[in-house]
Amino acid sequence: MVPRMLQLFLILHVLALPVQLCEIPRGNSALIKCLNTELLKLSQDLSEELNPSVYVALRLSADHSLKKEAQYLQRLRNVFQPSTSSSVAGGQQKQPNMGRLALYLLALRAACQDMETLLGRQLVTRLKYHLHKEKEQIAFKGSGRPITSYYQYSLGVLALCVHGKKIDPHVIQKLLNAEKHNKFAHGGKLSVDTTAMAGLAFACLEQANLYEPRLVAAISLAVQRVTDRILQAQTTTGTFGNIFSSPLAVQLLIATGMSKKPECPKGLDALLGSLEQGHFQNPMIMSQLLPVLDGKSYLDIAAMECRAERDTLELDTTCPGSRTVILGTKMITVLLAVEHPPSPETLYNHSIQVPSGSSLLDVLRTAAEEGAGQFTFETQNTLHGPLLTTVMGLKASNGERRYWQLLQAPDSSLQKGISDYQPQDGESIILKCSPW
């Protein structure tokens, strides 16, 4: 009898212990408000590329500047939803790709917009068409790969789901198959971003109450496997993969009720530490982080009512740090090399001098301007910043599943893009055409 009583006592003692939730510790409200203000400033900066993700973050925040948010939404509309008259006039305006369109639909739901209008239904139909074409590509000759990526595919599914739209079960099944066969990888490693986005899509579908029990059961299993992979991807420093993939990972943990897991507050501490140190400068990552600091995920968009909102956010908030980079007077030397396997030869290998504080993009521009070794490069604008697509006339394409990998010699992948990464004096950077 004593052992049973002791066992009962231990169980009650454990249940009485305080549970560490994935909540923001007190004393960080000013830090969060600064991030909120920085995103609001971005929404008013006409030189910045329009990004629906920034709008979504502002809408999910506890504090708002409703007038400025409305202004930004109108600018988004002008680009993503041109008027019927401009469409009839010849369709000159380029249509957004699937990822941008999906983010725009998230933005419209965050604004509580009526999608049962002609233009609203057209947007939904267009996104469904994109997903249909992606599904066909996955099935084409058993390639198992979409036209774009499983990240964008998952984002498209999530956008339709938060609007309460029923999605073709075959589209869902393709995403389930990809998860089951470990297709969410990049360079042979788990892509935390893709896995987290797919998890958010699965979590939304699981709650949708629109699908037959057998499909829902498969979705529920996928949610469990994906969250397990995210938890296993946590490093000793608390990040999931790296600090820049962690915001989406924590969003998934919040959305799936994993906030009581010890990994969640540990990840949140890592994010807060990096935010305080000014590591977050990329608008896309900043916009994925702000909802987390408000204890929310993209799934919360589905329940937004846009009523009784606090219109208290101002631009004059004094915040430490800035996204403005001031170049130093000291010149630094960066060693820049270009490799294109299987060729054993290094296509380019030169020392480039730039002011301290320069980005890798500045280094590439200087190399091209100096003409040493006939260095050339091209980029493509994305919402994550400029993407390196062509070097020395050699283009890396999705069709060949190759990309230009950014390495710190000899083989350490950079965690930032070319516009965000700042090389140090004497650092060796390698641009390597690699499979993904």
Letter string b/e over residues 268-307, b meaning 16 or more CB atoms within 10 A of that residue's CB: bebbbebbeeebbbbbbbbbbbbbbbbbbbbbbbbebeee
403 is in an annotated binding site: no
**Residue 404 exposed, middle or buried by CB count within 10 Å (0-12, 13-18, 19+):** buried
Q: CA-CA distance, 311 to 309, in Å (whole number)?
A: 6
Letter string b/e over residues 352-374, b meaning 16 or more CB atoms within 10 A of that residue's CB: bebeeebbbbbbbbbbeeeeeee
104 is in an annotated binding site: no
Sheet of 377-380, strand order? 377-380, 387-391, 394-395
Report DSSP state, residue 181.
T
Q: CA-CA distance, 51 to 285, in Å (whole number)?
A: 12
55 is in an annotated binding site: no
Letter string b/e over residues 221-242, b meaning 16 or more CB atoms within 10 A of that residue's CB: ebbebbbebbbebbeeebbbbe
Report DSSP state, residue 317.
-
C-alpha to C-alpha distances, 45 to 49, 80, 333, nearest whole angstrom: 9, 18, 33
405 is in an annotated binding site: yes
242 is in an annotated binding site: yes
404 is in an annotated binding site: yes
**Residue 202 exposed, middle or buried by CB count within 10 Å (0-12, 13-18, 19+):** buried
74 is in an annotated binding site: no
436 is in an annotated binding site: no
151 is in an annotated binding site: yes
Q: Looking at this protein, which amino acid is placed at residue 277?
A: Q
- Return binding residues: 148-152, 193, 242, 288, 404-406, 414
- Return binding residues for cyanocob(III)alamin: 148-152, 193, 242, 288, 404-406, 414
